[in-house]
Amino acid sequence: MKVSTRYFGEVDLDESKVITFAGGLFGFEEYTRFALLFNSEAEERPAISWLQCIDEQSLALPVMIPTIVMPDYNPVVEDGVLEELGDWNEENISVLVTVTVPKDLKLMTTNMKAPIIINTDNMKGVQVVVENTDYQIRYKIYDILNSAKEGKEED
Amino acid sequence: MLALSRKINESIMLGNDIEISILEIKGDQVKIGITAPKSVPIFRKEIFLQIEEENKNAVAQEQSRETIEQLFKF
């Protein structure tokens, strides 16, 4: 299927890549079909990808794997909250957090309080609010990303 | 909006499986108890609004894809 995307132009997307968020995302409850897109020309799969709405070109959020900036990230939710995902386990579940990038890059943040959880077997997704009281909605990551880069250069 | 008056220890049913009880009233603060199935997410409205806003902020960003990808090259 052809999909007009915000960051990747027109993309030919296999139906099997469509992720269904039955309840939508907070603030965008009416949109339920998304896909995860990333720069396939990069040498390895990039740490950042884009959650693109299939039905609305302008609706795309940068998302990242939270453990890049918080290695011990361990979101806690009530049992029933993930019911929508069907049968899930540690193997088939993917946890992502949204990234907010303001004009001043130094102020960029990620939302640790409301991760996006995807069951990669049945391609169902849900955005949840976690119980962890110390997880911030605006967790600053610019310095953490930079020190990760420096760490790598020293290797 | 439906407005109901309730006294302490009285409650309201939403459908047949969600119960909202008034536990305590102290000055301008009310302590509310909620019994609901585990699949019903419950959170303070402020948190809900902040998360809605943060999703919108994430969508509204104006940096290019390349600029953002560069930040994540390790």
- Interface check for A45 against chain B (CB to CB < 8 A): the answer is no
Question: What is the overall mean pLDDT for chain B?
Answer: 94
Beta strand segments in chain B, E: 11-14, 18-26, 29-35
Q: How far apart are CA A59 and CA A21, in angstroms?
A: 14
Rounded CA separation A78/A116 (Å): 15
Which candidate, A81, A109, A114, places its Cα nearest to that of A95? Answer: A114
- Report CB contact under 8 Å: A101, B68: yes
* Contact yes or no for A12/A29 (Cβ under 8 A): no
A26–chain B Cβ distance below 8 A for any pair: yes
How deeply is B13 buried, as exposed, middle or buried, from its count of CB atoms within 10 A (0-12, 13-18, 19+)?
exposed
State pLDDT tens for residues A34-62: 999 998 877 777 889 999 999 999 999 99
Largest CA distance in chain B: 59
What pLDDT does A120 receive?
Answer: 95
Give contacts of A152 with chain B, Cβ < 8 Å. 74
Q: Is the pLDDT of residue A154 over 60?
A: no
Contact A114 B43 (CB under 8 A): no
CA atoms within 13 A on the CB side of A68: 30
Using the predicted structure, report yes or no on whether residue A31 has a pLDDT greater than 70: yes
Pairing between strand A48-53 and B11-14? unpaired
